[in-house]
Amino acid sequence: MADLNRVVILGGGFGGLSAALRLKRAPVQVTLIDRCNYHLFQPLLYQVATGSLSPANISSPLRTILKGHKNTQVLLAEATGVDVANRRVLLSDGAIEYDTLIVATGSSHQYFGHNEWEQYAPGLKTVEDATDMRRRILLAFETAERETDPEKLRAIMTFVIVGGGPTGVELAGALAEIANDTLRHDFRHIDPSQARIVLVEGGDRVLPAYPPQLSEAARKMIERLGVTVRVNAMVIDVEKDLVTVRNGDATEKFTARTILWAAGVLGSPVGRAVARETGAPIDKAGRISVEPDCSVPGHPEIFVIGDLASFTHQTGQPLPGVAQPAIQEGHYVAKAIVRRLRGEESKPFRYFDKGNLAVIGRGAAVADLNWLQLSGFPAWLMWIFIHLLYIVEFQNRLLIFLQWAWFYLTFDRSARLITGKNPLPLDL
Amino acid sequence: MADLNRVVILGGGFGGLSAALRLKRAPVQVTLIDRCNYHLFQPLLYQVATGSLSPANISSPLRTILKGHKNTQVLLAEATGVDVANRRVLLSDGAIEYDTLIVATGSSHQYFGHNEWEQYAPGLKTVEDATDMRRRILLAFETAERETDPEKLRAIMTFVIVGGGPTGVELAGALAEIANDTLRHDFRHIDPSQARIVLVEGGDRVLPAYPPQLSEAARKMIERLGVTVRVNAMVIDVEKDLVTVRNGDATEKFTARTILWAAGVLGSPVGRAVARETGAPIDKAGRISVEPDCSVPGHPEIFVIGDLASFTHQTGQPLPGVAQPAIQEGHYVAKAIVRRLRGEESKPFRYFDKGNLAVIGRGAAVADLNWLQLSGFPAWLMWIFIHLLYIVEFQNRLLIFLQWAWFYLTFDRSARLITGKNPLPLDL
């Protein structure tokens, strides 16, 4: 083993895990490093944040997934940087050498220079983010039940979601269903369906990555659920319980106890370290421009894939920061490494766009398959099948299916737990 | 509604919830107060701590359970005391008046005057305790995988469980199965089955509440799983990574990174407040001596039920702090309240002992049904059926059954997530 090519993969998300899976029988020695002990199926994270699923339903222990890979070890560790000259990854508690490095550490929220907004408007990237968001949403209704001042009550019952991309739309739809259906008979002093849910998008339509007619269909579907949609509304300030947006010359203020952030992403700090060390170009979203083979310019031994990579060789634009490009890049890079060890060249990476799907609510979704656009119930059915198909463990597929079926029949969200060290008093 | 008898129930555990359920159509106005928004099925909490189930699987939102009870409101609040003279419950953020009060706030851990031990040896009472314990257990193996010093490795791979009651035995058995089976092929540098699991009990046998032959059977079953059992071993000191026990004149020290507490319980602070205010006798475990009708001496309007009550009128001993007495007391008190409003007397409470069950591992349990003692596979089957039967929501019954079936077939524990705000570095 000792003289095998040592492939170190940073990150066990869609990109890193796909690469690791594809390297199963390759003549290399693989180390997968993640700071979590599980792979997270991020597209369903909003369902944890809104109490439909439990964290374990969308997480699979990395060691379980890779237990049959005799050439692979998993390390629970945090990468803090890369020492490119000595081919070492720096960890918070040590270092590890590589011959080939795959950086797939993904992205986090971006507040566009206003990091102070984060405390008032948390984002959704990790399991902890999701349980915290769930807690905020549920505590808002609990607090409302005990509030008697009508003005305060109005603020407590207002929810603002910043960002009209898939996550924002999915959160808005799920929140509306919680208010209208799930909690319908749960309270004695408030009517949860009186909650005001506002979706704020800076661009001129929701789901800007979709064809305009699907954006329009999505907007109609969320509005039908009772969500107030504001487009062309740039957030210019976030304070405690207050969001200010600007539309042209007009500004509008929303007083809301619960503000959720689904707007921007920023490549992980490891990406910036790699850029610093290698001189690779990095964009405002913290993405590293990669070569046609996903490697870093001048460093064929370092690959960057997934959200952290800006791959522009196909369309002139970076590929979208969703699961499919990450998975395909992971597979491609794994193959390229094996070919390189055999002395063979690889063709440039080519992304095969299978399309986009976003769900709005029960029986409501939009699907853009490039050759076909669907909205409403058929898109929703497709969404369900595809998501179940891609969940890593068979057991989780079954559990999620059952919980969805239950939810579809009853509107009941079983994972409606307020957890956290100090659940009370009701202030956050 | 305004002139109906106002029944305030503190605590949505087995006792408080049973009372609330039984009061469904009673001519009273019910307020159920809990600091959690869910009822927790505590007998399965150790399965969350050991990664078999998710918190939501054993929790049901109180509002969902009681949504059909038009005479009942649920308040998420923390009771801090009782103002008996003015018939008011004091909350951390307000107060609420009652005509009849049911105190069912349960118990927490007891360190027998050594509260400083808690930080090194956490107990298991809440969902947060369970996810913290899960984190400690899983992080121990992760840390071991990266440890090279053999002496440190030994400490990291040692787990001490203090207390040989049902929780201690169940934790020891589950830990042994994690080490022997679940994690079997997960690591590259350590062999999880080399973990040393020590169960320490102060009395002369494990499961002291069971008949001696079942204690013996339980001990054999856990020893067969590889657990080291020490009886007559009183814990005299707990420090970071070190437990000291005394057996007669001999002392023994265990160096262990992971120490879990399953030894003593202490009635909740609200119980002490009630005792202070009413002068009711309270024992060392913080339990209030109640009258034959579960009321507080001299205060027929205050009932204490469940773990917090010391009901000695039947056997001369307090009833055990498990689910059955709490449930039966809850039902009894609800009925007694309704009868009293009608001007009728109630017969004293009588506990019907259905027996005791504890599980050791896959296919291994002990059951004491008074007229029948079982151990091994038949006891285990009975344990499964009874626990599924008592889980509150049908959906959760189905989900738990599926996860158990999966676990039985594969040894895989799917809820093996290390969560928490700062999962790294590997130190706690």
Which pLDDT belongs to residue A424? 52
* Chain B interface, best mutation among A45, A395, A407, A427, by max B CB count within 10 A: A395
Are A395 and B414 within 8 A, CB to CB?
Answer: yes
Structure tokens at B400: 């738990």
Are A417 and B67 within 8 A, CB to CB?
Answer: no
Are A146 and B77 within 8 A, CB to CB?
Answer: yes
Q: How far is CA B353 from CA A295, B15, B212, B346, B356, in A?
A: 69, 16, 18, 20, 8
Cα maximum dimension of chain A: 74
Q: Which residue of chain A comes nearest to B62, CA vs CA? A: A186
Condensed to tens digits (0 to 9), the pLDDT of residues B22-67 reads: 999 999 999 999 999 999 999 999 999 999 889 998 998 999 899 9
Q: What is the average pLDDT across B8-34?
A: 96
Q: Long-range contacts of range B248-256, CB-CB < 8 Å, 24 or more positions apart?
A: B254/B158, B254/B160, B254/B198, B254/B200, B255/B154, B255/B155, B255/B158, B256/B155, B256/B158, B256/B159, B256/B160, B256/B196, B256/B198
B36, B94, B186 ranked by CB distance to A67: nearest = B186
B54, B94, B186 ranked by CB distance to A56: nearest = B54
Give me the residues of B, 25-84, that contact A with CB < 8 A. 35-38, 54-57, 59-61, 63-64, 67-68, 73-78
Q: B350: pLDDT confidence band, cut at 50, 70 and 90?
A: very high
Q: Please say if the pLDDT value at position B139 is more than 80.
A: yes
How far is A306 from A329, CA to CA, in rounded Å? Answer: 7
Q: Please say if the pLDDT value at position B1 is more than 50.
A: no
Minimum distance, in Å, between the CA of residue A40 and any CA atom of chain B: 10
Residue B197 carries which side chain, given as an amino acid letter? I
A vs B: CB pairs below 8 A: 153
Are B38 and A417 within 8 A, CB to CB?
Answer: yes
Is B425 part of the contact surface with chain A (CB cutoff 8 Å)?
yes
Q: B394: pLDDT confidence band, cut at 50, 70 and 90?
A: low
Minimum distance, in Å, between the CA of residue A140 and any CA atom of chain B: 11
Are A37 and B138 within 8 A, CB to CB?
Answer: yes
Cα maximum dimension of chain B: 74
Q: Compute the CA torsion angle B276, B305, A422, A124 (nearest 10 deg).
A: -170
Q: Which of A61-75, A254-268, B206-220, B391-405 has the lowest mean pLDDT?
A: B391-405
Q: Which residue of chain B comes nearest to A61, CA vs CA? A: B416
Q: Which residues of B touch A41 (CB under 8 A)?
A: none
A288-289 and A309-310 strand pairing: parallel
Q: Which residues of B touch A412 (CB under 8 A)?
A: 64, 395
A234 with A84: CB under 8 angstroms? no
Give me the residues of B, 276-305, that contact A with CB < 8 A. none
Which pLDDT belongs to residue B427? 52
Q: Please say if the pLDDT value at position B400 is more than 80.
A: no
Which pLDDT belongs to residue A153? 97
- Which residue has tokens 């090519």? A5
Structure tokens at A97: 């050498």
What number of other Cβ atoms are within 10 A of residue B342's Cβ? 7
Average pLDDT, chain B: 92
Condensed to tens digits (0 to 9), the pLDDT of residues B252-308 reads: 999 999 999 999 889 999 999 999 999 999 999 999 999 999 999 999 999 999 999
Q: Which residue of chain B comes nearest to A394, CA vs CA? A: B406
Give me the residues of A, 319-358, that contact B with CB < 8 A. none
Residue A352 carries which side chain, given as an amino acid letter? F
Strand order in the sheet with A364-368: A356-361, A364-368, A373-375
A10 with A102: CB under 8 angstroms? yes
* Chain A interface, best mutation among B48, B50, B60, B64, by max A CB count within 10 A: B64
Q: Three-class SS of residue B113?
A: coil
A55 with B53: CB under 8 angstroms? no
Are A93 and B425 within 8 A, CB to CB?
Answer: yes
Q: How far is CA B404 from CA A300, A395, B51, B134, in A?
A: 47, 11, 12, 18
List, for chain A, all residue ranges whose pLDDT scores fall below the cut of 50. Answer: 1, 423, 428
Q: Please say if the pLDDT value at position B422 is more than 90.
A: no
Interface predicted TM-score (ipTM) of this complex, two decimals: 0.88
pTM, 2 dp:
0.91
Are A92 and B424 within 8 A, CB to CB?
Answer: yes
For chain B, how are helix, strand and coil distributed in percent, rounded to 5?
35, 25, 40
Residue A347 carries which side chain, given as an amino acid letter? K
Which pLDDT belongs to residue A428? 46
- Which residue has tokens 């007391």? B329
How far is A290 from A309, CA to CA, in rounded Å? Answer: 6
Distance between alpha carbon B408 and the CA centroid of its chain, in Å?
24
Q: Which residue of chain A comes nearest to B404, CA vs CA? A: A395
Reported as half-sphere exposure (CB side, CA atoms, 13 A), residue B204 has a value of 4
B35, B421, B426 ranked by CB distance to A424: nearest = B35
Which pLDDT belongs to residue A2? 53
How far is B292 from B315, CA to CA, in rounded Å? Answer: 12
How far is A384 from B109, CA to CA, in rounded Å? Answer: 44
Which residue in the list A97, A142, A147, A170 is annotated as catalytic?
Answer: A170
Condensed to tens digits (0 to 9), the pLDDT of residues B244-257 reads: 999 999 999 999 99
Minimum distance, in Å, between the CA of residue B125 and any CA atom of chain A: 13
Which pLDDT belongs to residue B428? 45
Which pLDDT belongs to residue A72? 97
A54, A189, A399 ranked by CB distance to B55: nearest = A54
Helix and strand counts by DSSP (H, E) for chain B: 11, 25
B94, B128, B423 ranked by CB distance to A419: nearest = B128
- Cβ burial of B347 (10 Å; 0-12, 13-18, 19+) is exposed
How far is A320 from A326, CA to CA, in rounded Å? Answer: 9
Give me the residues of B, 169-198, that contact A with CB < 8 A. 183, 185-189
Which pLDDT belongs to residue A419? 77
- Catalytic (active site) residue A345: no
Q: Please say if the pLDDT value at position B408 is more than 90.
A: no
Minimum distance, in Å, between the CA of residue B392 and any CA atom of chain A: 12
Condensed to tens digits (0 to 9), the pLDDT of residues B73-106 reads: 999 999 999 999 999 999 998 999 999 999 999 9
Which residue in the list B170, B177, B291, B329 is annotated as catalytic?
Answer: B170
How far is A336 from A327, CA to CA, in rounded Å? Answer: 14
Q: What is the average pLDDT across B118-142?
A: 94
Are A399 and B403 within 8 A, CB to CB?
Answer: yes
Where do the domains of chain B lie, and which CATH numbers do they carry? 5-35+77-106+268-341 (3.50.50.60), 112-263 (3.50.50.100)
Number of residues written out for chain B: 428
Which pLDDT belongs to residue A137? 95
Q: Which residue of chain B comes nearest to A71, CA vs CA? A: B188
Q: Which residue, among A265, A254, A253, has the nearest Cα to A160 in the 3D structure?
A: A254
